Amino acid sequence: MIEELNELNSYIIDKIEENDELLLELEKYAVENRVPIVTKEVAKYLEFMAEILKSKNILEIGSAIGYSGIILAKVAKKYNGKLTTIEIDEDRYNIAKINFEKAKLTNVNIILGDALDVISGLDEKYDFIFLDAAKGKYMDFFKKSYEKLNAGGVVFIDNILFRGYVNKIDYPKRYKTIVKRLNEFIDYLYKNHDFVLLPFGDGIGLVKK
């Protein structure tokens, strides 16, 4: 089943045409420098969901090099809104900041720091939250950010299936803690929230408040 899904993902990716030169540049940079960014099909679905909800105020946890942030900031801009994005790694923070400037996006507030510390200090509410950071801390990130979500808003969680390891018995031992925590997180979401789990990309979780 996983192999069939991977084949379908490849089919979808081949159908997606990206004309934004900066995004294409960032895709290439990510591959060459092994920076994890959202895959093309997930990027399109992320944009689609944020657009459907007419998301004005967006929070991103995990800026990386600004790839997904550029996509989300453009959606927010349509509704005279903004993106707040948090990155813990200083090098990636600096790269993302430059890329937002290249994209000529002035509606971005990028914050350097640990999201677990930063989120508590945010005094705004958000229509859409994108979670794509340290997988072992997803539960903590979610609980803190969910408090900042407007009613009717959505939390979009990427990589929640973690390479399919959450459904496997045999996987590298170094990932034992992450896999255990993600399984606990998925169980928690099903039991306590309006949650759906989608098996494409590396697994997407959607929570509606």
Q: Is 87 annotated as a binding residue?
A: yes
Q: Is 21 annotated as a binding residue?
A: no
Q: Is 145 annotated as a binding residue?
A: no
Mean pLDDT score, 11-30: 79
| pLDDT, mean over the chain | 90
What pLDDT, on a 0 to 100 scale, did the predictor assign at position 161? 83
What pLDDT, on a 0 to 100 scale, did the predictor assign at position 51? 97
Q: Is 132 annotated as a binding residue?
A: yes
CATH 3.40.50.300 is held by the domain 2-208? no
Give yes or no for a contact between 109 and 84, defined as CB atoms under 8 angstroms apart.
yes
For residue 59, pLDDT beyond 90: yes
* Burial group, residue 189, by CB count within 10 angstroms (0-12, 13-18, 19+): buried
**Cα gap 157→147, rounded to integer Å:** 16
For residue 109, pLDDT beyond 70: yes
Q: Is 140 annotated as a binding residue?
A: no
Separation in Å, CA 202 to CA 5, 28, 167, 190: 10, 19, 12, 18
pLDDT tens, position by position, 74-85? 999 999 999 999
Residue 148: DSSP 8-state: T
Q: Is 115 annotated as a binding residue?
A: yes
Mean pLDDT score, 21-25: 91
pLDDT tens, position by position, 138-171? 999 999 999 999 999 999 999 898 777 677 777 7
